[in-house]
Amino acid sequence: MFITEQIMRKCSACAIQDLTLEFGNDKLGGMKTDEKKESRKTRYTKMALRESLFDLMREKPLLHISLKEICERADISRSTFYTYYNDQFDLLKQIEDEIFEKMGGIVVKVRDYSKIINAGLIPIAEEMLGFIADNKKALEVLFSPNGDFNFFVKFVSHYINQIMSFADTKTGDSKNRYRIHFIIGGIMLVIREWVKNNMDMPIPVFAKLIVKLALLYK
């Protein structure tokens, strides 16, 4: 059964009003206003293409995946693909950008550096881990050897830059700046390992652990 057929059957009987972007059983956060205005066909076309891409990336790297393969597996024409994406690299980039945007909305809740190194981060950590768990399949692929080689680097850099943008660091305060890089980079590495290990710790327990690790470097 083609991916498009699987998706349409799965949701043929359900309401579409609050539909979220999905990868298999995963959700890529709540939809933006513009996305809610998209037609049902458009939403499912994008879902099928993304599902197809991730299925293929479980088998081989993106560089070895052709646009033809993506479209055939999704049972969608190339002309329809070009309506939404320039090529397979643009498709992956848009997926990554949506992940960054959603997680950025969570990270930005941390309005000063002090919150990163105390228990006040736990609810935000739990929210972030919940989002990661909802998108487990997508992130497993992106973090895998077949994923975008630079994704994890961009993943870490994106959030270090966000934290730095509102952290209470004085100009030339190298110690504080390096501390932020160390803590955020370390937390992201631990999260990646958690994803690779099939999220073997419950979210509340793991959230407390990463906050505790951050506290070690207060």
Overall number of domains in the chain:
2
pTM of the model: 0.69
Same domain as 116, residue 48: no
Q: Of 88, 111, 127, which residue sits at a domain end?
A: 88
- Taking residues 114-142, report their average pLDDT: 77
Same domain as 176, residue 149: yes
| All residues at 6 or more sequence positions from 188 whose CB lies less than 8 Å from its CB, including other chains | 152, 155, 156, 159
| All residues at 6 or more sequence positions from 126 whose CB lies less than 8 Å from its CB, including other chains | 203, 204, 207
- Taking residues 111-140, report their average pLDDT: 73
- Please give the residue range of the domain that contains residue 7: 3-88
Same domain as 103, residue 76: no
Q: How much is the pLDDT for 175?
A: 77
CATH number at residue 73: 1.10.10.60
Q: Of 39, 71, 88, which residue sits at a domain end?
A: 88
Q: How much is the pLDDT for 112?
A: 47
Residue range 88-117, pLDDT digits in tens: 999 999 998 888 888 777 766 655 444 555
Same domain as 110, residue 76: no
Q: How much is the pLDDT for 12?
A: 43
Q: How much is the pLDDT for 152?
A: 78
**Separation between Cα atoms, residue 45 and residue 76, nearest integer Å:** 8
Same domain as 77, residue 121: no
Same domain as 102, residue 205: yes
Q: How much is the pLDDT for 179?
A: 79
Same domain as 104, residue 128: yes
Nearest to 167 by CA among 157, 156, 181, 155: 181
**Separation between Cα atoms, residue 115 and residue 110, nearest integer Å:** 6
Same domain as 64, residue 161: no
Same domain as 67, residue 24: yes
Same domain as 183, residue 99: yes
Nearest to 21 by CA among 128, 95, 127, 126: 95
Identify the weakest region by mean pLDDT among 15-24, 32-41, 51-60, 157-166: 15-24
Identify the weakest region by mean pLDDT among 76-80, 161-165, 178-182: 161-165
pLDDT at 9 over 60: no
Q: Of 38, 72, 88, which residue sits at a domain end?
A: 88
pLDDT at 7 over 50: no
Nearest to 191 by CA among 213, 166, 171: 213
Percentage of residues of the chain with pLDDT beyond 90? 29
Same domain as 119, residue 38: no
